[in-house]
Amino acid sequence: MRPVVRTTSLFIDGSWSAAADGRERIVTNPFDASDLATVAEASTADVDRAVRSARAAFDVGAWAHAPVARRAAVLTATADALQEHREELARLETLDTGKTLAESRFDVDDSTSVLRYYAALATTEAGRTVDTGRPDAVSRVVHEPVGVCALITPWNYPLLQITWKLAPALAAGNTVVAKPSEVTPLTTVRLFELLQAGLDEAGAPAGTANLVTGGGPAGAALAEHPGVDLVSFTGGLATGRSVMRAAAETVKKVALELGGKNPNIVFADTDLDTAVDYALTAAFLHSGQVCSAGSRLLLQRGRHAEFVAELARRADRIRLGDGLAKGTECGPLVSAEHRAKVERHLAGALAEGAVLRAGGVRPDQAELQAGHFLRPTVLTECHPGMAVVREEVFGPVLTVELFDEEDEAVALANDTPYGLAGAVWTNDAGRAERVAQRLRLGTVWINDYHPYVPQAEWGGFKQSGTGRELGPSGLREYQETKHVWRTLNPAPQYWFAD
């Protein structure tokens, strides 16, 4: 299957168009660097048109004040459409990102669940009444949409990330302008095609949901635009800071999901085979291009030598290949530039004294030479002073640090500016709970790694972000809270004497 060339990938004011200045961008397949599709490259003028359209659609009130059931129906229709086109979307995601088809199918299913979750949650929202202490007054607290929301997403989970934002934003009655990463925009374009049918069916105003494809400058234009009320951004820490700065000018609400340097803590009482197995998934799923990747393995001294030997043996056996091919366990990195960045991290780690136990090289198979592959890499002799332990590598590079006691494990795990996710492995239930409580992370897995559900919040402590996606808090991000007080029989109160 070849994706359709789509130079009219801007969806603004209810119709598809090319960029105003005609600029385009070629999207490539990371497996073999071949051209996949051409999409429009939005300019600042296109962004401005999209924001104005979203503004007008919001201000007219037809969507913001539509019955919640009507907004929920759009999400449900889109969820149904995702499932109907599940295989097509999964293949498109694999072609665009390089991840395996199994992972892409999971992403489509997760996106579907999130749409259904917010469709259901939104219809249970009734606000609350508050005791005024007076028989002649009633008071209620209600939640209303924020307004125009800019939704900016990264390249690693394109369909899933945009759905995590779009579903609660639309459920709450906002209008939106979405901007996917320039590197992997294709499933977002397809999602908007499917969403369009639901919006039309619901009679939503043109401009309720807009899409601009383009690079960083389009994202920056959104973060700065005075017509935008909220920016929900997922991406790197440096870009997140710049979004926050840009948003400050008009005091936009900001929700940031940034990176992580996530500890996977393994105590010596854990079953070795199980913990090794999960350590591999934690670190190397999607070639480590996962914000919550367990890229720091903290191993208790004891059976650590045996653990590392098994880890390295199994890392060396991971089958790299075309994400569409049966038997592939790991795809390539997303681009040549990104692989070069990961390789620079690796070279720096070795210069700082890390010892290579697996990988560290590009694969030698002829059929993988055109793609951006790097072998899953295990580094030992690592310590918190090293850049590779402190900075997000966002590739298949796992560092191993050793510890003796529980306190030391917690201190090592928390010794990072990030606070997104991590895990603790132990058979001692008391210790598991103690450690989970002390970890400064938005998500802690006990004896597991990576699972999440739409009902539970996702987000980071510290510099991993502000706000939460998923769960009830994920809806609140897109709502303003309003207190309405009503006096039933007003009469003069003569606070000031007449």
Which active-site residues does the annotation give? 257, 291
Residue type, 103: E
> Given the complex with ligand NDP, which of 167 and 291 has the nearer CB atom?
291
Nearest approach in angstroms of CB 287 to ligand NDP is 13
- Smallest separation (angstroms) from ligand NDP to the CB of 315: 21
Q: Which stretches of the chain bind ligand NDP, using CB under 6 A?
A: 152-157, 179, 181-183, 215-216, 219-220, 223, 234-236, 239, 242-243, 257-260, 291, 392, 394, 420, 460, 465
Our CB check for ligand NDP shows the closer of 123 and 242 to be: 242
Count of Cβ atoms closer than 10 Å to residue 109 Cβ: 15
**What Cα–Cα distance (Å) separates residue 164 from each residue in 57, 60, 70, 138, 257?**
22, 26, 19, 36, 11
CB of 248 to ligand NDP, least distance (A): 13
- Residue among 160, 223, 167 nearest 188 (CA): 160
157 CB contacts (<8 Å, ≥6 apart)?
A: 107, 290
CB 257 → ligand NDP: shortest distance, Å? Answer: 3
Instruction: Tell me the HSE value of 205 on the side-chain side, using a 13 A CA sphere.
Output: 21
> Which CB atom, from 314 or from 345, has the smaller least distance to ligand NDP?
345
Q: Which is nearer to ligand NDP, 96 or 406 (CB)?
A: 96
Considering the complex, state which of residue 29 and residue 156 has its C-beta at the smaller distance from ligand NDP: 156
CA atoms within 13 A on the CB side of 106: 12
Q: From 54, 63, 9, select the one nearest 226 (Cα to Cα).
A: 54
Comparing CB distances to ligand NDP, the nearer of 432 and 470 is 470
Q: Using CA atoms, how far apart are residues 415 and 418, in angstroms rounded to an integer?
A: 9
Kindly state the smallest distance separating residue 258's Cβ from ligand NDP, in Å: 6
CB of 459 to ligand NDP, least distance (A): 7
Comparison of 7 and 380: residue with beta carbon closer to ligand NDP: 7
Quote the CA–CA distance of 30 and 370 in Å, as a whole number.
Answer: 9
Residue 404 half-sphere exposure, CB side, CA atoms within 13 Å? 0
Which residue, judged by CB position, is nearest to ligand NDP in the bound state?
219
The least distance separating ligand NDP from the CB of residue 249, rounded to whole angstroms, comes to 13
- For 464, what's the count of Cα atoms within 13 Å in the CB-facing half-sphere? 24
Sign of the four-CA dihedral 54, 55, 57, 63: positive
| Residues 6+ away with beta carbon under 8 Å from 172 | 122, 143, 145, 146, 475, 478, 479
| Residue 76 vs 466, nearer CB to ligand NDP | 466
Minimal distance in Å, beta carbon 164 to ligand NDP? 8
CB of 298 to ligand NDP, least distance (A): 20
Instruction: Provide, rounded to whole angstroms, the least separation between the CB of residue 100 and ligand NDP.
Output: 17
Pick between residue 198 and residue 459 the one whose CB is nearest to ligand NDP: 459
Whose Cβ is closer to ligand NDP: residue 127's or residue 236's?
Answer: 236
**117-149 burial code (b ≥16 CB/10 A, e <16):** bbbebbeeeeeeeeeeeeeeeebeeebebbbbb
